[in-house]
């Protein structure tokens, strides 16, 4: 499977460095190694969700209880979570680190992934959620740390889009 | 059975718990008994009170967490019951007031407050759904004595507990709440921190 193990490890290490102690997740192909790393880490609470919006509630509860969290989801999982983000996280000023796989963008080969990618950014922008992209392994640690810092200081969701060039290793360039 | 009587029955036992309620009647009635900073009223995001409680319970395993939910909200997040069952935190009590109607989101609408029933009015059994989701200790209660026993067993026990209480579809005496959402949002985690510190020092503060 050409999902990058090495770069998944870079992302996971960055989450740990940012103080993340609980990850909620609903997997998709690009997230398989990240979810496995969270599962194998005895110091990480991994919550496997039935639907992504639950993660907004779980992260809010964990924040109230003093834990830093990250939410691992596909962009369609983000779209699924929008009401929870608006009517809980934004309404109540809850910090969230949204780690969103950026499917349906340039290079996408799965026809079923091509719709949501057209407006993931615009929906994030409509919600005034500050976003950045992770495309190269050398930028991951710094951007994750900064995203967590902003989420905590602004008491708001912040999104990092996990890009194809980071998560996927093409057989031929 | 009236929701307010159920709340009165457990109110004294909520002092050391993290309490999360849904919006509307449940929040207003708990508030009417006397607000405490360890009560968080989720005034929107229907369905997520149970997930929020699960997050607290997982993050603070030594803290008893009580979620005061409703049939309409639970029906919006049935999958969350499976997540709750999967991690089954022993410190979580999920109380669902089932009045078989979307009282608080349509209570003032023309036609009276029984105008939009939920599927529990036509036979959907939330306690059975919770059991089937994997919450072993879940039950349906119709009498105040049974409710009190089941709820207090959950609060004082050490197993994930779900109590579905069939209650009358009655509006609260008042929806008045003199605590702003954001005030409540910030006082609640501070209360949890104080309680945590108290626990850590064996009650000496």
Reported ipTM: the value is 0.95
Please judge whether B51 and A51 are an interchain contact, meaning their C-beta atoms are less than 8 angstroms apart. Answer: no
A51 inside 8 A of chain B by CB: yes
Average pLDDT over residues B37-42: 98
Per cent of chain B over pLDDT 90 is 84
CA distance A145 to A20: 10
A84 inside 8 A of chain B by CB: yes
CA distance B18 to A66: 13
Structure tokens at A114: 């091509």
Between these two residues, B108 and B87, which has the higher pLDDT value? B87
pLDDT computed for residue B203 by the predictor: 56
How many CA atoms are closer than 13 Å to the CA of B192, on its beta-carbon side? 27
Q: Which of A47, A59, A88 is facing B45, going by the closest CB pair?
A: A88
The whole-chain average pLDDT of chain B stands at 93
pLDDT single digits (tens) B156-196 = 999 999 999 999 998 899 999 999 999 999 999 999 999 87
Please judge whether B193 and A66 are an interchain contact, meaning their C-beta atoms are less than 8 angstroms apart. Answer: yes
User: Which of chain A's residues have a Cβ under 8 Å away from the Cβ of B51?
Assistant: 53-58, 61
Report in angstroms the alpha-carbon separations of B82 from A27, A56, A162, B118, B160: 17, 16, 28, 20, 12
Stretches where chain A sits below pLDDT 50 are: 173
Q: Which of A22, A60, A67 is facing B52, going by the closest CB pair?
A: A60
DSSP state, residue B202? T
- Measured in whole angstroms, the distance separating CA A60 from the mean position of its chain's CA atoms is 15
pLDDT computed for residue A146 by the predictor: 98
Average pLDDT over residues B130-147: 98
Q: Which residue has the tokens 């050409």?
A: A2
DSSP state, residue B175? -
Among B118, B115, B78, B74, residue whose Cα is nearest residue B99: B118
Strand partners, B121: none
pLDDT computed for residue B116 by the predictor: 85
Please judge whether B192 and A64 are an interchain contact, meaning their C-beta atoms are less than 8 angstroms apart. Answer: yes
Q: What are phi and psi of B56, to 5 degrees?
A: -65, -45
Average pLDDT over residues B3-29: 97
Please judge whether B79 and A63 are an interchain contact, meaning their C-beta atoms are less than 8 angstroms apart. Answer: no
Report in angstroms the alpha-carbon separations of B129 from A68, A135, B100, B120, B147: 32, 43, 15, 11, 18
pLDDT single digits (tens) A64-91 = 999 999 999 999 999 999 999 999 999 9
pLDDT computed for residue B205 by the predictor: 47
Q: At what angle do helices B3-10 and B144-156 cross, to 10 degrees?
A: 40
DSSP state, residue B60? -
């Amino acid at each position: 499977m050409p999902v990058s193990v090495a770069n998944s490890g870079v992302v996971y290490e960055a989450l740990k460095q940012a103080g993340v102690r609980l990850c909620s997740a609903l997997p998709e192909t690009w997230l398989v190694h990240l979810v496995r790393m969270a599962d194998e880490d005895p110091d990480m609470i991994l919550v496997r969700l039935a639907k992504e919006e639950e993660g907004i509630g779980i992260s809010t509860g964990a924040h109230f209880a003093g834990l830093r969290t990250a939410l691992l989801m596909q962009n369609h999982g983000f779209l699924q979570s929008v009401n929870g983000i608006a009517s809980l996280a934004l309404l109540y000023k809850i910090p969230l680190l949204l780690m969103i796989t950026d499917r349906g963008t340039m290079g996408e080969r799965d026809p079923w992934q091509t719709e949501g990618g057209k407006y993931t950014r615009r929906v994030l922008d409509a919600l005034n959620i500050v976003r950045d992209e992770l495309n190269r392994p050398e930028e991951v640690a710094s951007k994750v740390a900064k995203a967590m810092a902003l989420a905590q200081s602004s008491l708001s969701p912040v999104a990092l889009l996990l890009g194809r060039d980071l998560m996927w290793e093409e057989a031929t360039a | 059975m009236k929701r307010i009587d159920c709340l009165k029955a457990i109110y004294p036992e909520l002092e050391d718990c993290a309490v999360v309620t849904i919006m509307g009647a449940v929040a207003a009635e708990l508030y009417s008994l006397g607000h405490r900073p360890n009560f968080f009223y989720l005034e929107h995001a229907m369905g997520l009170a149970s997930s929020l409680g699960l997050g607290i319970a997982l993050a603070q395993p030594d803290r008893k967490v009580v979620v005061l939910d409703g049939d309409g909200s639970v029906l919006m997040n049935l999958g969350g019951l499976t997540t709750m069952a999967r991690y089954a935190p022993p410190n979580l009590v999920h109380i669902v007031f089932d009045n078989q109607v979307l009282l608080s989101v349509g209570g003032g609408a023309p036609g009276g407050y029984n105008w939009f029933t939920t599927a529990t009015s036509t036979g959907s059994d939330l306690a059975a759904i919770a059991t089937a989701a994997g919450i072993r200790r879940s039950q349906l209660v119709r009498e105040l004595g049974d409710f009190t026993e089941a709820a207090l067993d959950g609060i004082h026990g050490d197993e994930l507990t779900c109590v579905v209480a069939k209650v009358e579809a009655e509006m609260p005496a008042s929806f008045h709440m003199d605590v702003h959402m954001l005030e409540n949002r910030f006082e609640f985690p501070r209360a949890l921190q104080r309680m945590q510190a108290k626990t850590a020092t064996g009650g000496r503060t």
